[in-house]
Structure 1
Amino acid sequence: MKIILSTLNAKYVHHALALRYLSKSVPDARVMAFTINHTVESVCAELYKKITTDTLLGFSVYIWNVEMTLRVLARLKKVAPQLKILLGGPEVSYDPFETLTANTFVDYVIYGEGENTFKALCNANDCVSLHSIEGLAFRQDGQVIVNPPRPLIQDLDTIPSPYTSAELAAFEGKMLYYETSRGCPFTCSYCLSSTTHGVRFFSLDRVLADLRAMLDHRVGQVKFVDRTFNCSNVRTKAIVTFLIQNAAQTNFHFEIAAHLMDDALLALLKSAPTGLFQLEIGVQSTHAKTIQAIHRQTDFEKIATHVKALRQADNMHLHLDVIAGLPYEDYEAFQKTFNDVYALKPHALQLGFLKLLKGAAIRDFEGYTYCDCAPYEVLATPWLTHAQLLALKRMEDMVE
């Protein structure tokens, strides 16, 4: 069987980390990635050239590419009905039954972590074995079958590294994505990470070996996709110390919870060579009732203290985020949130708008009006009118 893995990235410079993991689970799989800036026709044409009588085509699906992905695959299935189509990713895996029911051209959906499920599917050779694959939904005799979920991988080191030495050579001076952990210690109601509990880590030896290889190949930037990179101060300090001691031309981007930093980590970051690190810090809101309602554990006073200290050191880019449309935050309360964060003088302040994602607990709040299709962005809340959100959209353009 010929196996093709694909996705539509948001930008040319982006690279799908998920596909790299899957291709290492099944070495025969070929990766063909495109962007949402390609046309449906051009993507279909390139994929059609590679389809044989026995091809499995897997697509990684997200809120930014789901609409175009489904158009591509529906078109391909018409001209290549023998093609087997597999979907995975957060936009289709929350409700695999609904995904298969609504899209009759799709044959399989993987939900949950995909590495072991994908490997099992590629090794399956009959319907009996399909029924035994945890984390798989599929179509059989016109019926949609959803198998039991697959347990999370506890020993992450059993997953092959997503980048070979040859692949890293192609990233010299370019950006790649990397993770040192999966999961998040927090349960914010607007985030899909809240649907799984706890954090699992790749071993420190594994992480440092991977980072050493990236440094050796002069990767331009490593963007860590850990939900909360510094959820363990001890572990974070070990990684940061290694990167400082081996500092080269590579830049490292982390998403952190600034209030979790201890004094030693703060001092370590302040001592880093200029340009080695950049930090993205999600403040989201400074309104106490909002923070409580979204089950977010934070401390803005600590965040402000740590951001000011890092800003004074002036050795790294600081990117802070706020979200408009959260519960109990009206126009005046959001203005205060924005002003509180703006006063910290970050190098970048990103004003985002609430997305009511499939599976996120935020959808349980009554009174929200939001787009029916991806990215499910808020249109009005019980506390913000649509006109007020449009005014904030204009503010977004000014701080972009």
Structure 2
Amino acid sequence: MLNEEVRNQFPILDQEVNGHSLVYLDSAATSQKPQQVIDVMNSYYSGYNSNVHRGVHTLGTRATEGYEGSREKVKNFINANSTKECIFVRGTTTAINTVAHSYGREHLSEGDEIVLTKMEHHSNIIPWQQVAKLTGAKLKYLPLQEDGTISLDDVRTAVTSNTKIVAMTHVSNVLGTINPIKEVAQIAHDNDAVIVVDGAQAVPHMKVDVQDLEVDFYAFSGHKMCGPTGIGVLYGKQSLLENMEPVEFGGEMIDFVDLHDSTWKELPWKFEGGTPIIAGAVGLGAAIDFLEEIGMEAIEKHEEEVVHYAIEQMEKIDGITIYGPKERAGLVTFNLDDVHPHDTATALDSLGIAVRAGHHCAQPLMKELQATATARASFYLYNSKQDVDLLVDGLRKTKEYFGDVF
């Protein structure tokens, strides 16, 4: 288990909510930020705030070094082959939309197929719906097993010579399911398809090596991995990105502009139109430094211990339904019998415990689970078994209260 010193590096956690010490269990929505990330972003704004790539003055040079230095950290963190393969975007949603509207619109036509799973976040469904409408391609959904996993046999059946794109989450934001991305990528490639992976819930919690996984595109967000909001990364194989057109046009991404035509900069800048997310990139670089100092293996092991303990303790509560497989990433989605998840979340908040309630941007999955909404407790490196005990005690009190009411 990670020690208390890790938690102490997150200043926001040192507060009371509704008269109770804060227990933050909503990191799947957004993680909290360590002091060193906050300090680095303050240093940028107070010490070398400037635009990048354009000026030759000292502040501009320092800003450019910070921005591109963070790209180098991203490359190493996910083991990309080159910084040219690491595009800074607003987040996972923007990254997937970029692939859908640049690669997808160019390579899909009527009768082609896009294969997805029923556990996808809306951000990995809606862009493909829109591209399918524009191109005449069809969406195919992999069925889920009873425990919320997918079967590789089903993947082999679904992915055919008509399949051009497989779009899949690495880790489900509802079920915690860890999908076998490397094996799925091999099946996709055997059928001359590309694989696009939503890594928003994976990169913060486990070591991700895009070359080992052999993925074609991989998207993730900074704010879920101790970094700031508004910054994310699209990884793409250089050979694919070089043949894709930008989806945003303007300053920064151009090489030469004439009155009637323009040419684009080389990778990665041709996909980064306008003033880039400089402070966000600098903050993301600091977050990567922080995570690597602790070690992704240590973080993954810590979360495994916490979530296994959570499931073990929560299963002792009568009338609780827990969704998802036994082996999972660090979150537990659940419902209490006869208690709406919004009421559960409100009751827990009165005790200082922050959990998520709703459809979690996964309405097709909610339908599959036959639930209109669920509650979700998601854990990170700053959570402990003590947090789990407080959650379980809060759930017992919630169940008792609503039992008395009804």
Higher relative contact order structure (alpha carbons within 8 Å, sequence separation ≥ 6) = 2
Same fold, TM exceeding 0.5?
A: no
With normalisation by structure 1, the TM-score equals 0.31
User: Which structure carries more strand by proportion?
Assistant: 1
* TM-score, with structure 2 as normaliser: 0.31
